[in-house]
Structure 1
Amino acid sequence: HNKTAVQVKEDMKKIVQIPLLRPRTVAAKHTKLFGVSLLELREKGLVEDGVPLVVRRMVEHLLQQEGLFRVNGNVRAVETLKQRLEGGEEVDLLSESETCTVASLLKRYLRDLPEGLVGSAVQQALIQHYQCGEDGSWLDVRDLLQQLPDVHHSLLRYLCHFLTLVECNHNDNRMTALNLATVFGPSVFQ
């Protein structure tokens, strides 16, 4: 009887000394964000006002940075950041990532869109519009761009707004409209 009581006391002491385990939180389900159609992301609730949440996070980070898009990010850092975001991890881009890494990640996101941001039919119509030497108004271009799926159109508008803000600060970041077109043209028009 005494021996059992002593053993129970010893066991209780050990249990009290073991830190309580935190309740297990359910790990976020791995969600592929890159190379996924915008329509699929919208169906998964990963689009807000027509813009993928991952793109919003990158753009909000980049708007605060100088020297934007001047240097490519480290390939390994870009891939790691992509995997962390797709793994559902909360990533504080401002404190955890270099500007060039986030900028490269944004370009990668656009390049990885399965059909590109501006689909081939609209792209061909735009090319034809300009090759014909049509002085057509911006209304013609707008009408062509409105042929894009709504989520593509929304992301393109968001990206153009962002790039306009970047260009407005070209004295600080050296990113003129021509420089931005050189950087983003291949990513937007595949």
Structure 2
Amino acid sequence: MEIKPIQDSKKLNEVGKFFEKTAEINKNYFEYWKENTLFHWDFWLSWGFAIIPWVLWARYHDKKMRGQLLLAGFIALIISSWFDFNGVVFGLWYYTGLAIPTIPSYVPWDFCLLPILIMMLIQVKPKLSVYWKALIFTIVSTVGELIFIWLGFYRTVHWNILYSVPIYFVLFLVSERVGRIAKHR
């Protein structure tokens, strides 16, 4: 039994051609990654950036704040990975030394470093103004971008890292604010 889609067949064929091109490029990149990144220094450093922060967080976070911190970190992860994915897809920047070659954004940055930095800042000095913490987060994250450029992991194409400054500031504020939902439950 054949199911006939209601979508225009011409559109299906055209989108299929884009898919085939994308699949071929991804396959070629995966082969390149296996030869030039897998088990090289940048691969191990990327995995270190992915694992070590979580180990430290698991050891040192305030267990009473766990729900609040994880909610804030999760929001940061979702927002930062969405921005990062779109930046790569639209050609604003790209990464080398990817820990996972099938995800275009840099997983250690979006899923580990940024959320954990936010969670630690929320936990430390609870009386310090959220705006001061957002500023600290913004400065550390911007310096982190510069370090990643120096390492050769991050290459801007149509992006200036100064554009990231307000994004980091708002990312912290939104993550911290959403994290407070868990605090009040």
Q: TM-score range by the shorter chain?
A: under 0.3
TM-score by length of structure 2 reads 0.23
User: Which one has a larger percent helix, Structure 1 or Structure 2?
Assistant: 2
- Relative to the length of structure 1, the TM-score reads 0.23
- Asked which structure has the greater CA Rg, the reply is 1
